[in-house]
């Protein structure tokens, strides 16, 4: 009975650790999804503000050219000067806004990459743990088969239930003994 618990314990531990890895993956995935949506929104805002910046830069350049050419009336010169000032302020505002959005975007991107890296590590750990679990089960099965072939009390009880199986196991034991003897020679 004591041996049965020892064999079952690794299975339970593997399942428990795999569940912990899965829970951590679910939590990180849940955190990554809003970051991805936020990055999509920031991308739209960045494109809109970059376009706004470009348009105000063009307007400022156009007004600047008109200012250089216009000397005919003080009234037109005053209006163009005011338009030029507005263009400068708007250009500066869009430039600042675009910079802030880029900074936020970089911050959110870094967080998302950190989470993605952790998720990749969790997946690798899960794969390693699953492989180890499979190897452990295979080792158990192999040990059980060798024990059956060696005629341990567990094997005898199982073998006595079927006379043909017992004969096959005896034949297999003889083959193992012969193979071991051959390897010694």
- The region, left, alpha or beta by phi > 0 then psi within -120 to 50, assigned to residue 151 is left
Grade residue 172 by pLDDT with cuts at 50, 70 and 90: low
Q: How confident is the model at residue 184 (pLDDT cuts 50, 70, 90)?
A: low
Mean pLDDT over all residues of the chain? 81
Domains in the chain: ranges and CATH: 2-127 (1.20.120)
Q: Is the pLDDT of residue 159 over 50?
A: no
Q: Name the nearest CA neighbour of 42 among 91, 113, 97.
A: 97
The alpha carbon of 63 is separated from its chain's Cα centroid by a whole number of angstroms, namely: 51
- For residues 87 and 60, the answer to whether their CB atoms sit within 8 Å is yes
Measured between alpha carbons, how far is 14 from 20 in angstroms, rounded to an integer? 10
The reported pTM is: 0.62
pLDDT tens for each residue of 58-110: 999 999 998 888 667 888 888 889 999 999 999 999 999 999 999 999 999 99
SS3 label, residue 76:
helix
- The string over 51-83, giving b where at least 16 C-beta atoms fall within 10 Å of a residue's C-beta and e elsewhere, is ebbeebeebbeebeeeeeeeeeeeeeeeebeeb
pLDDT at residue 84, as a whole number: 93
Q: How far apart are CA 77 and CA 174, in angstroms?
A: 112
């Amino acid at each position: 009975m004591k041996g049965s618990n020892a064999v079952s314990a690794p299975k339970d531990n593997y399942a428990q650790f795999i569940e912990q890895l899965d829970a951590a993956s679910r939590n990180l995935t849940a955190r990554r999804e809003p970051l991805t949506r936020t990055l999509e929104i920031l991308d739209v805002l960045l494109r809109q503000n970059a376009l706004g910046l470009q348009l105000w830069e063009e307007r400022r350049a156009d007004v600047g050219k008109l200012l250089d050419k216009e000397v005919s009336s003080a009234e037109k010169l005053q209006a163009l000067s005011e338009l030029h000032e507005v263009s400068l302020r708007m250009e500066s505002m869009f430039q600042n806004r675009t910079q802030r959005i880029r900074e936020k975007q970089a911050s959110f991107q870094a967080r998302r990459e950190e989470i993605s890296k952790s998720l990749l590590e969790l997946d690798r750990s899960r794969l390693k743990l699953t492989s180890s679990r499979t190897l452990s089960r295979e080792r158990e099965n192999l040990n059980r088969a060798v024990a059956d072939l060696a005629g341990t009390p567990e094997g005898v009880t199982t073998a006595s239930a079927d006379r043909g199986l017992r004969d096959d196991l005896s034949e297999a034991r003889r083959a193992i003994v012969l193979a071991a003897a051959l390897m010694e020679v």
